[in-house]
Structure 1
Amino acid sequence: MKIKVLGSAAGGGFPQWNCNCRNCDGVRRGTLKATRRTQSSIAVSANGEDWLLVNASPDLLAQIAAHPELQPARRARDSGIAAVLVIDAQIDHVTGLLMLRERDTPLPLYATDAVWQDLTSGFPVATMLSHYCGVEHRRIALDGAPLAMAGLEGVQIEALPLSSKAPPYSPHRHAPERGDNIGLVITNPKTGKRAFYAPGLGEVENHVLAAMREADLLLVDGTMWTGDEMIRLGLSKKTAAEMGHLPQSGEGGMIDVLASLGARDARKVLIHINNTNPILVEDSPERRVLGEHGIEVASDGMSFEL
């Protein structure tokens, strides 16, 4: 089973188009040791030819161009993207669906009931696509059963409900519903190896912690270093928690959570990294702290085989 990181940044990418924070300004000028990143998405495959796209970033076309396996050219019009699964209805995870409108068959789209409601109401991407290729909604029931994925045999996926925020345009933004945000346990049935993917993780509940303990690869929320990061920089009035993200540092932060998993030999990788996060700077003190804890920082093009 193969997992590729197509995009590793949070919404807006890195550098963000209108941001002049130290990180964004430094990467543009070449004065910081940092690498540009597109917005968060991964792809999963059992055979290296048919891929499940997990989240459809606004940067999807650039990501497809950077990964030829997503364009295998088996016929006149073709794609290696067999289906798409979205973990929430956030703009940075669903806008790229519009870039797939030229398909000649309906797009298989896995989504929970809560997310599907958002995609047909508050941000009606699915409704828009009905005028182009169409969408075949495949319901994620959150009943604990693995998802059945035609054409993606050899990959087993289970969805876990997470405590996080629905998008601002969601009908249930202020009345959270089960399934607004999910994490994924992605398993290779042949090897028994599994990955846990949760780029938006506001709270580590017991069922989530149990899944993390059993994972051989963790791709988890790396959005912000501190809870007040955006406030201190004068870029927002919201804390990380208010945006549905667990910061890395501080008591109970992601570093503490990953350290609590014990001695299991799992790769621990932060993904969905906000442009303000100092871990983007490769020689920063914060990056060294992560290294001391055996934690990696995802970059575009990173790949794993389980």
Structure 2
Amino acid sequence: MRLRVLGSSAGGGFPQWNCNCPNCDGLRRGSILARPRTQSSVALTANGVDWLLINASPEVLQQLRETPELQPARQIRDSGVAAVLLIDAQIDHCTGLLMLRERNSPLPLYATPEVLDDIGSGFPLTRLLGHYCGLDLRPIQLDGQPLAMPFLPGLELIPVPLTSQPPPYSPFRGRPRPGDNIGLLVRNLASGKSLFYAPGLGQIDDATRAVMAQADVVLVDGTFWTEDEMIRLGLSSKPAAAMGHLPQSGPGGMIEQLDALPASTAKWLIHINNTNPILREDSAERAELGAHGIQVAHDGLEIAL
């Protein structure tokens, strides 16, 4: 089992096209120690040929070009992307579906009924793509049962409901439903190893904490360092919680949550906002993460279990 990080940034990427915060400006000028990142997406394979694309970011074409393995070239038009799974309906996680419209058969799409509702109405991707390749919709039920994915032999994927906000265009913004956001527990049945992937976490309840505790690797929300990060920079009036994210620092923050996991757990942060100081590889905040055994994901990172 291999997981490849195609994109590790939050919405807007890093640097964000219209942002002159110290991080984005510093990266453009070459005055900070950091690397550019595209918007959050990962790909999962069991055999190195057939891949599950988890979230389709706006930069999906760039991400595929930078990952030649996802282009096996078995016929004149081909892709290693066997299916797409959406963990939520956020713009930065589903817009890339439009870039995959040249497929010559309906694209298998796994998502909860809540996510399918949002991308069928408020942001009608399902109707739009019906005029191109079309979608083969495969609703995810949150019943604790593994998803049926025969192209990932030997892997077991269990969706985990999370508490977070649906996208701003959703009529349920501010009234989140189970199914608006999920994580994935992926088990390699041969090795017995497992990974928990959750790029959007607004809070961690007991059930989610129990799932994280059983995983050998956790790859989770690294959006903001502080609850008021965007407010202090004058970029938004909303705190992290209102946007559906748990910041790393402070009481009950992600650092504290990850500290409670077994010492053997490999801990990674993903979906990192362009304002977050952990993007600077020589920052005090990055050093603090390192002291807690927490690593920061980057585009191109591979995790094998």
Structure 1 distance, partners of 2:174, 2:23, is 32
Q: Tell me the number of residue pairs that the alignment of Structure 1 and Structure 2 aligns.
A: 305
- CA deviation after TM superposition for structure 1 residue 33, in Å: 0.2
2:255 aligns to what?
Answer: 255
Residues 163-195 of structure 1, C-alpha deviation per residue, up to 9 Å, x if partnerless?
000111112223322100001101111111110
2:97 aligned partner:
97
Task: Give the aligned partner of residue 210 of structure 1.
Answer: 210
> Over residues 64-83 of structure 1, what are the superposed CA-to-partner deviations in whole Å (9 max), with x where a residue is unaligned?
00000111111100000000
After TM superposition, list the pairs within 5 Å mapping 1:27-66 onto structure 2: 27-66=27-66
Q: Which SS does the other structure have where 1:44 is aligned?
A: strand
User: What is the deviation of 1:126?
Assistant: 1.2
Deviation of the 1:262 alpha carbon: 3.1
CA RMSD across the alignment: 0.7
Query: Residues of 2 paired with 1:234 and 1:52: CA distance?
Result: 38
Partner of 2:286: 287
Q: Percent identity?
A: 64
Residue 269 of structure 1 corresponds to 268
Amino acid at match of 1:292: A
- Unmatched runs of 5 consecutive residues or more in structure 1: none
1:106 partner amino acid: P
- Name the CA distance, whole Å, in 2 between partners of 1:193 and 1:110: 23
Distance 1:133 1:304 in 2: 31
Which residue in the other structure is 2:295 paired with?
Answer: 296
| 2:87 aligned counterpart, secondary structure | coil
Give 1:122-271 correspondences, 5 Å limit: 122-263=122-263, 265-271=264-270
How many Å separate the matches in 2 of 1:294 and 1:175? 35
CA distance in 1, matches of 2:174, 2:293: 37
| In structure 1, distance between residues paired with 2:229 and 2:156 | 37
Give the Cα–Cα distance (whole angstroms) in 2 for the partners of residues 151 and 279 of structure 1.
36
**Does residue 4 in structure 1 map to residue 4 in structure 2?**
yes
Q: Distance in 2 between matches of 1:214 and 1:143?
A: 18
The structural deviation recorded for 1:153 is 1.9
Unpaired runs of 5+ in structure 2? none
Aligned to 1:278: 277
Counterpart check, 1:80 vs 2:101? no
Q: TM-score, normalised by structure 2?
A: 0.99
- 3-state DSSP of counterpart to 1:158: strand
- The CA deviation string for residues 183-212 of structure 1, in whole angstroms up to 9 with x for no partner, is 110111111111000000010011110011
Mapped to 2, the partners of 1:218 and 1:59 lie a distance apart of 24
What displacement does 1:151 show? 1.8
With normalisation by structure 1, the TM-score equals 0.99
Tell me, in whole angstroms, the C-alpha distance in 2 between the residues paired with 1:112 and 1:176: 13
How far, CA to CA, are the matches of 1:156 and 1:149 in structure 2?
8
SS at match of 1:211: helix
* In structure 1, C-alpha distance between the alignment counterparts of 2:258 and 2:174, rounded to whole Å: 30
